[in-house]
């Protein structure tokens, strides 16, 4: 599980220095050593009756700050709930950190220090999705380079351990509601398995967001459409 095996501290430290010569350092890192791994029960009280999953309740100040975007978030909630009911996906709307996506029903949430959200299949652990955020002073993902350049740096420095052989299959740029997202597909080959993965990255709210999902190569044919749905559902909104 490439996105789950790497140390969060390594993620932050390496990525902070990933584009020093061409683009400068746009990140401030906060080192966190060690990884905690906790499976959350599906009936936890943090899950609301609508099935949405959110982080800690926003403070009064945060609630005032996101007031202007509330109609947009509410609209997404309703559309996502309907989509999930019809297509077998569960929506996630993080009102605190300003992002949303969907994941397949049956995956469980786990907690990994340094990663904001992680959901995985308990039977096929390589089938998972994770979201990480790193502070940045950049305003647009293009400031870090082309889709191919950003994909190469992330895969080499962050998304795959150094002992794995990696290959970028494709890297593309998408504009969603005026915000640029880079999406890329890659393979990471370990001695005993090969993971086929998809990522979506963008910048908003003073943060660099990375969503990564994937599966064992032997199950790629069965899972690729669902994983593509996850990646394409990833959206940021202002908080």
Beta-bridge mates of residue 76:
none
Q: Contact, 186 vs 166, CB < 8 A?
A: yes
Q: In whole angstroms, how far apart are CA 234 and each of 98, 102, 176, 182, 202?
A: 11, 7, 10, 11, 10
Rounded Cα distance, 46 and 114, in Å: 19
Residue 121 lies in a domain: yes
Rounded Cα distance, 92 and 10, in Å: 26
Q: HSE of 171 in the Cβ direction (CA atoms, 13 Å)?
A: 17
Listed residue (120, 132, 129) closest to 212, CA to CA: 129
Residue 53 lies in a domain: no
For the chain, how many structural domains are there in total? 1
Residues 6+ apart with CB under 8 A from 72: 237
Residue 47 lies in a domain: no
Residue 42 lies in a domain: no
79 phi and psi angles, rounded to 5 deg: -65, -40
CATH code of the domain covering residue 113: 3.40.1000.10
Residue 54 lies in a domain: no
Rounded Cα distance, 49 and 6, in Å: 34
Give the domain extent around 87.
Answer: 2-37+59-236
Question: Which pLDDT score, from 0 to 100, does residue 206 have?
Answer: 97
Listed residue (210, 212, 226, 214) closest to 89, CA to CA: 226
Rounded Cα distance, 95 and 229, in Å: 21
Residue 9 lies in a domain: yes
Question: Which pLDDT score, from 0 to 100, does residue 196 have?
Answer: 98
- Give average pLDDT by consecutive 10-residue segment, the chain, 239 residues: 38 43 37 35 35 38 37 48 71 97 96 93 96 96 97 95 95 96 98 97 98 98 97 96
Rounded Cα distance, 209 and 8, in Å: 14
Residue 50 lies in a domain: no
Residue 217: both structure tokens together? 């190569």
Q: Contact, 101 vs 90, CB < 8 A?
A: no
Residue 225: both structure tokens together? 């459409």
Residue 51 lies in a domain: no
8-state DSSP, 171? E
Rounded Cα distance, 238 and 69, in Å: 7
Residues 6+ apart with CB under 8 A from 4: 112, 118, 120, 125, 128, 130
């Amino acid at each position: 599980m490439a996105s789950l095996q790497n140390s969060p501290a390594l993620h932050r430290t390496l990525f902070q220095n990933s584009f020093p010569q061409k683009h400068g350092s746009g990140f401030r890192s906060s080192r966190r050593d060690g990884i905690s791994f906790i499976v959350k029960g599906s009936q936890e009280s943090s899950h609301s009756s609508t099935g949405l999953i959110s982080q800690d309740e926003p403070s009064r100040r945060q609630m005032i700050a996101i007031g202007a975007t509330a109609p947009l978030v509410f609209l997404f909630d309703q559309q996502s709930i309907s989509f999930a009911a019809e297509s077998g996906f569960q929506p996630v709307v993080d009102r605190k950190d300003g992002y949303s996506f969907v994941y397949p029903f049956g995956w469980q949430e786990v907690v990994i220090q340094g990663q904001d959200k992680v959901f995985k299949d308990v039977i096929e652990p390589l089938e998972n999705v994770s979201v990480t955020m790193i502070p940045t002073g950049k305003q647009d993902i293009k400031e870090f380079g082309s889709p191919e350049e950003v994909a190469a740096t992330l895969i080499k420095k962050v998304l795959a351990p150094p002992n794995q052989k990696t290959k970028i299959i494709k890297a593309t740029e998408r504009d969603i509601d005026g915000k640029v997202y880079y999406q890329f597909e890659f393979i990471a080959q370990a001695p005993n398995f090969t993971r086929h993965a998809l990522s979506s990255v963008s910048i908003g709210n003073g943060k660099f967001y990375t969503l990564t999902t994937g599966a064992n190569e032997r199950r790629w044919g069965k899972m690729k459409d669902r994983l593509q749905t996850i990646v394409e559902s990833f959206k940021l909104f202002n908080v």
